[in-house]
């Protein structure tokens, strides 16, 4: 019995010694992880943004087609050509239109002659005769104008300057609204021109944020697969909502990409951060430097190697930093708690498993930027 008791006591002593060694080995790493750092109080620009996603589109797009009927006789451009406003792109046979123009001119000449033959100074010319003759002239003038417009429309011209991205016409195609002959197709597709290197983003904003978004606000645009962040401006905010894939209400917002860009591509998706408010000269401290005791917020101010408590009044929180309204000045240095790996204890606060001094402010996730949240730094 005595030998067995000695054996048990020996095993307990070994285990205790092993635990002490393990504690001693782990102790420096834990203390190092929990060591506070000293960081300065800074002044910066803080911005509140609303996030949106959308698609990059040309700033202008003209889908052009013939307004008159006829057979295509010329196609003067190809995909990729750069054109100017007013440039001829294609033409149809205008022989019939020219004949209709000649007929309209003859009709107007005859109507004007009949009006001139009426002698208003004689009793034989009635007011009715004069009114009828004048009406005939007005009608003939209207027909002549329409006939001239039809002749002009026999040539398809660009309404905007830009790049031709689609050509749906070929010589011999029939275009316009006339009924095709038996077995004949009538081609109605025309030519598409888009603005060159000028883009907008057609985005969607949720109903919770749309009230903050106004035309004229600055925006940062990040196209997928293209340039880095580029500047933009909100140009319009829609009033009618539509449902997204989840059924939530979203509102259309158009953001103009600033300037001409050759590194932005139509059809790509993009994320947009719309700046709804911006403040300059905001005094901030790292949020992890803040502690609370009752209704009092304080930091540990470090000066000449000495650590002292300093009460502060705080304002808005901007993720990883918080505004200081009073109690500190720019350039002051404060002690900042550093979270221990795995949610361990941090100076002045509780660990992942609880503990810590009552009232201390602990931000375990670092307060990272969230969509629609605040961010620091200027444009």
Tens-digit pLDDT profile for residues 79-126: 999 999 999 999 999 888 888 888 989 888 888 888 888 765 555 567
CB distance 22 to 272 below 8 Å: no
- State whether CATH 2.40.50.100 applies to domain 63-91+157-194: yes
| Mean pLDDT confidence for 286-314 | 93
Query: Which has the closest alpha carbon to 349: 293, 284, 285?
Result: 293
CB distance 228 to 98 below 8 Å: no
Handedness of CA 159, 163, 168, 172 (dihedral sign): positive
pLDDT at 126: 73
Write down the mean pLDDT value for the chain. Answer: 79
Rounded Cα distance, 336 and 43, in Å: 17
Rounded Cα distance, 294 and 30, in Å: 30
Beta partners for residue 256, in sequence order: 200, 233
Beta partners for residue 50, in sequence order: 274
For 34-47+279-376, CATH gives 2.40.420.20
3-state SS class at 211 = helix
Q: How far is CA 164 from the centre of its chain?
A: 25
Q: Between β-strands 174-175 and 70-75, what pairing exists: parallel, antiparallel or unpaired?
A: antiparallel
Residue 226 clears pLDDT 80, i.e. is over it: no
The tokens of 129 are what? 């005769």
Residue 30 clears pLDDT 70, i.e. is over it: no
Rounded Cα distance, 289 and 37, in Å: 10
- State whether CATH 2.60.40.10 applies to domain 51-60+196-278: no
Residue 56 clears pLDDT 60, i.e. is over it: yes
| Mean pLDDT confidence for 327-336 | 94
pLDDT at 111: 86
Range scoring the smallest mean pLDDT among 146-150, 180-184, 201-205, 313-317:
180-184
3-state SS class at 222 = strand
3-state SS class at 79 = coil
Rounded Cα distance, 307 and 312, in Å: 15
What are 237-272's pLDDT values in tens digits?
A: 999 988 888 888 999 999 999 999 988 889 999 999
Q: Is the pTM of this model over 0.85?
A: no
Q: What percent of the chain has pLDDT over 90?
A: 49
Rounded Cα distance, 86 and 158, in Å: 5
3-state SS class at 374 = strand
């Amino acid at each position: 019995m005595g030998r067995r008791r000695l054996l048990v006591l020996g095993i307990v002593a070994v285990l205790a010694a092993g635990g002490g060694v393990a504690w001693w080995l782990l102790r420096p790493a834990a203390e190092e992880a929990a060591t506070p750092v000293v960081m300065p109080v800074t002044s910066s620009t803080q911005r509140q943004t609303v996030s949106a996603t959308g698609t990059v589109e040309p700033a202008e797009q003209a889908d052009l087609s013939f307004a008159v009927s006829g057979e295509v006789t010329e196609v003067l451009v190809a995909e990729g050509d750069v054109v100017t406003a007013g440039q001829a792109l294609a033409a149809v046979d205008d022989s019939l239109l020219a004949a209709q123009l000649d007929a309209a001119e003859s009709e107007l000449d005859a109507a004007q002659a009949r009006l001139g033959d009426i002698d208003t100074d004689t009793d034989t010319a009635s007011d009715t005769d004069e009114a009828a003759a004048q009406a005939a002239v007005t009608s003939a003038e209207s027909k002549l104008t329409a006939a001239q417009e039809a002749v002009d429309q026999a040539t398809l011209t660009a309404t905007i300057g830009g790049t031709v991205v689609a050509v749906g016409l070929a010589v011999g195609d029939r275009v316009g609204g006339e009924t095709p002959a038996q077995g004949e197709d009538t081609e109605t597709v025309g030519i598409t021109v888009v603005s060159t290197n000028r883009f907008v983003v057609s985005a969607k904003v949720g109903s919770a944020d749309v009230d903050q978004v106004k035309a004229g606000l600055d925006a940062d645009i990040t196209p997928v697969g293209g340039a880095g962040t580029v500047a933009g401006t909100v140009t319009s905010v829609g009033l009618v909502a539509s449902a997204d894939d989840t059924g939530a209400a979203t509102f259309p917002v158009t953001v103009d990409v600033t300037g001409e860009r050759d590194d932005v591509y139509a059809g790509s998706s993009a994320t947009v951060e719309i700046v709804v408010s911006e403040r300059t000269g905001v005094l901030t401290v790292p949020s992890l430097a803040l502690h609370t005791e009752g209704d009092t917020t304080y930091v540990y101010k470090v000066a000449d190697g000495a650590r002292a408590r300093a009460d502060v009044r705080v304002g808005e929180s901007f993720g990883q930093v918080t505004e200081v309204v009073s109690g500190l000045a720019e350039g002051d240095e404060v002690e900042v708690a550093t979270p221990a790996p795995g949610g361990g204890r941090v100076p002045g606060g509780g660990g992942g498993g609880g503990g810590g001094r009552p009232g201390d402010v602990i931000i375990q996730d670092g307060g990272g930027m969230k969509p629609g949240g605040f961010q620091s730094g200027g444009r």
